[in-house]
Amino acid sequence: MAKIKPFKAVRPTRDKVALVSSKSYETYPEDELNAKLAFNPFTFLHVVNPGYKYHKQDVTGEQRFKLVHNRYLEFKENEVFTEEETPSLYVYQKITNSHSFSGIIAATSTEDYHNDVIKIHERTLRKRELLFENYLKNTGFNAEPVLLTYPENTTVKSIIDKYKTQRAEYEFTSNDKDLHLLWVVKDQDDINALTNAFEQIDTLYIADGHHRTTSSCILAKNLAKENPNHNGTEDYNFFMSYLLSDDQLSIYEFNRFIKDLNGLSPDEFLMELDAYFRIENRGQELYKPKEKHHFSMYLKGEFYALYLRKSAYEFTDELSELDAEILFKTVLKPILGIDDIRNDSKIIYSQNKSDGLELKTKVDSGDFKVSFGMLPTSIDEIKTIVDKGLVMPPKTTYIEPKLRSALTIYEILK
C-alpha cells in the first residue's frame, strides 16, 4: 500500500513561473549559469547559488546551505513565491518534441521507503547521502521532486485526464522548447480518490532521485529521535515526488568511455575480448546493437560489433543477464582492471539519446582509448531486478522525464 499526501506547496506566482523554475543546478554549463544569474533576478538559481549576491562563487558546505535558506526566505518575502491555502495534489504535464508525460506531484512517505514499498534500483554513496541530508536540514525544503513510477492505474489516469481538459494554473514553454502545464487538485473527492488509488498499489519504484530519497529518510530518522513528541505525521516524514505510470517513462542507455587499455595494445585487447565475444569489424559503419547481449565498440578508428559467447558466460540470476553487468564482468573488471565502476577515474559515462556518434568522437579526440554502447534497459528488466532485491550497476539507465526545480516546493521544516 503506497501512501501519498496532499501538501501546501510553496510555488511561483503565475506571472513569474517561467522565470523562476529552472533545470537542476548541476546541468548548466558555467557560461549559461552566469548569464541566467546576471539577467534573470527571479530564477531559482539565485536561491541554490546564494554566493552570487556577494560576488562569491566559492561558498561551500553548511555556510552555503544556510545562505540557500536565506535566499529562499527572500523569495517568499518578495512574493515571488506564494503558499497554497489548502493541502493539494498537483497534476503536472511535460511535453517535449517526442514525448508527453503526465503524472501527480504529491508528498510520499519515508516509512514506505523503509518498508520496501518504495524500492530502489541503484546504490547510493554514503558521502552524498549525508551531504544532502545536511542540505535538507539547513534549507528545510524539497524543490525538485523524486521521480517515482507505478503500474498504470485507471483511476489515477481518469483524474489526470479530467484536469487536462481544464485551464492550467501554469502553462509555459522553457528555453529547451518543452511545454510545462500544472493543475492544482484542491477538490477533496479527487484527493481522496487519488490517495485511495495509490493505497491499492503495492510498489513504487524510484526512477530518478535515489540520493534525494535516501537523504530524506535519514533526515526523518534523525529528526524523529530529536523530537520527544514525534508521531509520524510531521512534514519531515515525507518528501516530494512526481508519480508517473511506468508506460510513460523514456529509458536510454549510458555509453562507457575508457581512458586506457590497462597496458594492452589494441590487438592484444581484441584477443582478450575474443574469449567472451564473437567480434565483427564494422570499419567506419556506425554500429548500434539491436538485441540484448550485443554491444558496440569503437577502438582505434573502427567500429566493432561484439556478440556474447553464451558458452563463456554463466547466467546466475536476473542481474547477471543485464548488459551493463555483463560488460563489467567480462571486460571492464577482468581485462581493463576497473573494479570500482562508480569511482574509478579511468571510466566515464555519457547518456545516449542520439545516433551513437559520440562513441567515435570522444575516442578520436584522444581523451579515450575505447568506448562501448548497448541497448537501453527496459522497465520490465528494472522492475524484475528490483523485485528480486538486486541492485543494478551505476549508470545503467538514463530515465526521462527530467524535472524542473521550484515548480512546487515542499517544506520539510517550518
Walk me through the domains of the chain, giving residue ranges and CATH numbers: 4-250+400-411 (no CATH), 252-395 (3.30.1760)
The reported pLDDT for the residue numbered 357 is 86
Beta bridge partners of residue 49, listed in sequence order: none
Tell me what pLDDT residue 39 has: 95
* Mean pLDDT value of segment 348-359: 80
pLDDT surpassing 70 at residue 383: yes
- Between vectors from CA 115 to CA 110 and to CA 116, what angle results, nearest 5°? 100
What pLDDT digit, counting tens, does each position of 100-134 carry? 999 999 999 999 999 999 999 887 778 888 999 99
> Among the listed ranges 52-61, 160-169, 252-261, 274-283, which one has the minimum average pLDDT value?
52-61
Window from 285-299, 330-344, 386-400 with minimum mean pLDDT: 386-400
- CA dist 150 and 205 (Å) reads 7
What confidence score (pLDDT) does residue 25 get?
Answer: 83
Q: Would you give the distance in Å from CA 184 to the centre of its chain?
A: 24
Q: Phi and psi dihedrals of 397, rounded to 5?
A: -130, 145
Q: 11-39, pLDDT tens digit by residue?
A: 999 999 999 999 988 888 889 999 999 99
- pTM for this structure? 0.91
| pLDDT band at residue 62 using 50, 70 and 90 as cut-offs | confident
Residue-wise pLDDT tens digits, 219-271: 999 999 999 999 999 999 999 999 999 999 999 888 999 999 999 999 999 99
Query: For residue 354, what pLDDT band results from cuts at 50, 70 and 90?
Result: low
- Phi and psi (nearest 5°) for 251? -120, 125
pLDDT at 396: 86
| Number of C-beta neighbours around residue 174 at 10 A | 14
Secondary structure class of 352 (helix, strand, coil): strand
> How many Å apart are CA 11 and CA 218, to the nearest integer?
26
pLDDT of residue 54: 74
Per-residue confidence at 65, pLDDT binned at 50, 70, 90? very high
- Name the least confident of 14-18, 22-26, 204-208, 299-303: 22-26
The pLDDT of residue 364 is 95
The pLDDT value recorded for residue 391 is: 86
What average pLDDT does this structure show over 309-317?
93
What is the average pLDDT score of the chain? 94
Helices (H), 78-187: 110-114, 126-139, 154-164
Cell of 84: 497554497
Q: What is the pLDDT of residues 81-106, one digit of tens each?
A: 999 999 999 999 999 999 999 999 99
Residue 5: CB atoms within 10 Å: 18
- Structure confidence at residue 75 as a pLDDT band (50, 70, 90): very high
Q: What is the mean pLDDT of residues 206-213?
A: 93
Amino acid of residue 404 = R
pLDDT at 329: 96
